[in-house]
Copies of this chain bind each other. A is one copy, B any other.
Amino acid sequence: MMQQEILATPGGAIELPRHLLDVDGLEAPQIEGLLDSAEGMFEVLGRDVRKTPALRGRTIITAFFENSTRTRVSFEQAGKILGADVINVTASASSVSKGESLYNTVRTLQAMQIDALVIRHPHSGAPYFVARHVDASVINAGDGTHAHPTQALLDLFTIRRRFGRLDGLKVAIVGDVLYSRVARSDVMALRKMGASVSVCAPPTLLPPGWRPGTSIKEGGPFEGVRIESAVEDAVSDAHVVMALRIQRERQEAGHLPELREYSTRYGINARRLALAKREAIVMHPGPMNEGVEISPDIAHGAQSVVEEQVKNGVAVRMAVLYALCARGRSDAR
């Protein structure tokens, strides 16, 4: 994210990095610009003919070294609606490491003349490595436990659409904060936009130094985040209650109590949601373990915006692809 370029988006001219690797390097006006652009894309999604020529003649490759039908289809749909050609590449990280190096794999894809490389990889940081070595715009679609910037943007977009703003809202995030790239990206983006964030997780699933009952003091992207030991305190008066997916691998590694105990202590259910604001929304990045981190009635209840998140994800990814690949971009290269 070293180079900055000026790009015209439907939301006005904003400077954007060449790649979207994380939310760390995005400034609030850039996030605002992308969300504004996503509003325009949301309108396109609602049209009878869901198609624009904006990225005609552009090639987007989705390179997924980790399974995710959901995210891949979302990017594929976004790219195709914008008129781009989308080519899917799947590979197990292990088979790639046995054979060709990641460097050679992405240099080869790059050499085929592509505009964007959407990459998901089990190793934190892999997209940075890739971005240093290709001319195409690299979009991180999730790397290890590190970042998932388009998920954070779609979450912000979903919240902003509901409340008209992000500043001053209280967002409670409950679950595996330590290993969740969604949580990491969401917390950082929410703080940048002026939301207050409370997190709650089993102590083994909190980042080092995050102590229940305290707030993050040191300057940095997480400054001001409140860590609660009781879910009830985290969700109290919240505008947004976000449950994170429990990764069963974590449990097998001993970082998690029994699922039943987890559900009892941290699961989002009707009783806990009642403590949040009356107009609160419930979010989940999916796929959900219903009955574990979220109860089925809440997952599909009136306050759930889980499906809105999915729809908004297409709009946000359209905005990101457009910002990084639209006409004029290649002139600047």
Contacts and interface: CB of A to CB of B under 8 A. Distances in A.
Contacts of A47: 57
Interface stretch (A30-38, A48-56, A161-169, A259-267): A48-56
Interface string A319-330: 000000001001
A207 interface: no
Interface stretch (A20-28, A68-76, A145-153, A196-204): A68-76
A286 B99 CA distance: 11
Interface stretch (A107-115, A119-127, A179-187): A107-115
Contacts of A91: 69
A139 interface: no
B99 A287 contact: yes
A198 B113 CA distance: 32
A25 to B, nearest CB: 27
A73 to B, nearest CB: 6
A313 B287 CA distance: 35
A331 B49 CA distance: 11
A58 interface: yes
A317 to B, nearest CB: 10
Q: Determine which residue in A85, A99, A101 has the highest number of CB atoms from chain B within 10 A of its CB, and name it.
A: A85
A279 interface: no
A112 B74 contact: yes
A102 B317 CA distance: 25
A56 B49 contact: yes
How many chain copies does the complex carry?
3
A59 interface: yes
Contact of A327 (B48, B76, B101): B48
A331 B48 contact: yes
Q: Determine which residue in A108, A290, A308, A331 has the highest number of CB atoms from chain B within 10 A of its CB, and name it.
A: A108
Contacts of A104: 286-288, 290
Contacts of A59: 50, 77, 80-81
Given A76-B87, A77-B113, A113-B77, A286 B108 contact: yes
A314 B74 CA distance: 27
Given A59-B81, A104-B286, A111-B308, 4 more contacts: A74-B112, A77-B85, A100-B286, A111-B311
21 contacts: A45-B113, A47-B57, A48-B331, A50-B59, A51-B56, A51-B85, A57-B81, A59-B81, A69-B89, A70-B108, A80-B87, A81-B85, A100-B286, A100-B288, A101-B290, A104-B290, A105-B287, A107-B307, A111-B310, A111-B311, A113-B311
3 closest residue pairs by CB, A with B: A49-B57, A111-B310, A51-B57
